Amino acid sequence: MNISASNYGRNNALRCKDWSGKDSFKKQLKKMIKNISLCIDELDTNIPYAVLEIKKSRVMKLKEMPLKVYAGTEALEHIQSNGLKADDISMLLGASSGPKWLTLHGIDDFLINHFFKGRDKPLHLLGTSAGAWRMACYAMGGNEAHQRLTEAYVEQRYSAKPSGQEVLNTCREIINTLLGEDGAKNIIQHPYMRMNLITTQCHGLTRANNKLIKGLGYGAAAILNAVHRKSLAWQFTRLVMHHPQEHFPSSTLNDLPTRYAPLTESNMSDAILSTGAIPMIISGVNDVAGKGTYQDGGITDYGFDLPLLPEDGFVLYPHFSKQPAPGWFDKRLTWRSPRHANYSKTIMLVPSDEFIAHLPQKKIPDRHDFLNLSDTDRIKSWRKTIELTQHLAQDLSIMDWPSRVEPLPW
């Protein structure tokens, strides 16, 4: 990269002064740093990502790098021997999360704009709930869709006691903003991104319109799930909605009742909306793929415990927690972890505990922020979180994979 002297001289960026005058050394130094920052904006874009982005976020004083890398046995062996490059990845996962996905914003930003840029090898995307919304950004070409989703999501607002229908309507507005006029068509026609998502068809009491009856159904499901996860089969069917040109890239899923349906331009919006319809908070979406009520894909697959074992390549999984919960009802069941065999080819990217402790409110954003913070304070907190996640992107940009990878932590 050739940087001419004029780059530095423009706007008197590095103009020499007699520092023995009125201005103190400290003030002059601050001016110089500010001017150098302005110069950085004008430099060639081949400067490393970390250099370009560091000026955008507040400096964190961390004792360790902000990102943890965990891998299953096959992935661990590969990385320790060969490192990791973009073409090693054949599947990308996006888990259910609600607002927690904002903690991964910088990771998505880097993967979209740098890591996977210029790729032509097929990349299978799989998401549930907000994770599917993130995957739709990748499938639509990346950066602009990611920005639209971020803005619409952060700015959502509700009345003091919103109904499930009010929340559903607002979420539909977010999805409409994300997809725009041609989003569904762009997802289907993307040259190498293969969109897949999971949503859940509800049966019995859980499909009732009456909130009390529905609550009884979900309460029974939670109690029975604590005894055995297979009990979910009594009230739920997993619906895998796959790219129309390819079947879902996994062996047959037989842990729970599962059926498959292709994504189309006509059902794309409802499919993406339904997988984010949080039980008891957001009304279900009707007739997404056949008659019935469809809710959050996280009910069956909140953090994934599926045999995602590509024949060629590995699975990359940015996640907000180092121990994913298999299903929505498992979030508080600390003894229920995904099976190691299902994660043999998975590589997890997880913000460190220390990084999370430096976020606003000293925690990951979650849906309780709507109750505990005013809209103004919530939006400010979420935007600061997004800003700070650039540290995760910076870490990825200089990642030495073999020295950083660790075995799965559970």
Which string of DSSP letters, residue by residue, matches 25-73? HHHHHHHHHHHHHHHHHHS-TTS-HHHHHGGGSPPP--SS-SEEEEE-H
> What is the Cα–Cα distance from 272 to 176, expressed in whole angstroms?
10
- Work out the angle at residue 289's Cα, subtended by the Cα atoms of residues 284 and 295, and round it to the nearest 5 degrees: 25
Q: What is the pLDDT of residue 248?
A: 79
As given in the structure block, the two tokens for residue 246 are 């390819």
227/356 Cα distance (integer angstroms): 32
* Bridge pairing between strands 285-286 and 293-295: antiparallel
Instruction: Tell me which residue of 272, 256, 247 sits closest to 131, measured CA to CA.
Output: 272
By C-alpha distance, which of 236, 208, 365, 214 is closest to 296?
236
Q: How far is CA 188 from each of CA 147, 185, 244, 343, 384, rounded to the nearest angstrom?
A: 20, 5, 7, 28, 34
Structure tokens at 307: 């045999």
Report the distance separating Cα 116 and Cα 109, nearest Å.
11
Q: How many CA atoms lie within 13 A of 83 on its CB side?
A: 6
Predicted TM-score (pTM) of this structure: 0.86
**Interacting residues of 354 by C-beta distance below 8 A, sequence separation 6+:** 62, 63, 64, 66
CA distance 244 to 246: 6
- Cα separation, 400 vs 83, in Å, equals 8
Tokens 């870490």 -> residue: 395
Cβ–Cβ under 8 Å, residues 320 and 349: no
- Nearest in space to 58 (alpha carbons), one of 301, 358, 401, 366: 358
Print pLDDT tens along the chain (410 aa).
333 333 323 333 333 333 344 455 445 545 544 544 444 343 333 334 444 444 444 567 788 999 999 999 999 999 999 999 999 999 999 999 999 999 999 999 999 999 999 899 999 999 999 999 999 999 998 899 999 999 999 999 999 999 999 999 999 999 999 999 999 999 999 999 999 999 999 999 999 999 999 999 999 999 999 999 999 999 999 999 999 988 877 777 999 999 999 999 999 999 999 999 999 999 999 999 999 999 999 999 999 999 999 999 999 999 999 999 999 999 999 999 999 999 999 999 999 999 999 999 999 999 999 999 999 999 999 999 999 999 999 999 999 999 999 999 99
pLDDT at residue number 165: 96
Please name the residues in contact with 148: beta carbons below 8 A apart, sequence gap of 6 or more.
177, 178, 180
Scored b (16 or more CB within 10 A) or e, 164-195 reads beebbeebeebbebbbeeebbebbbebeebbb
Which of 393, 389, 237 lies closest to 300 in space, CA to CA? 237
Spatial separation of the C-alpha atoms in residues 230 and 238, rounded to whole Å: 12
Instruction: Return d(Cα 218, Cα 207) in angstroms, integer.
Output: 10
Note the pLDDT of residue 141.
Answer: 87
Please give the pLDDT value at position 31: 53
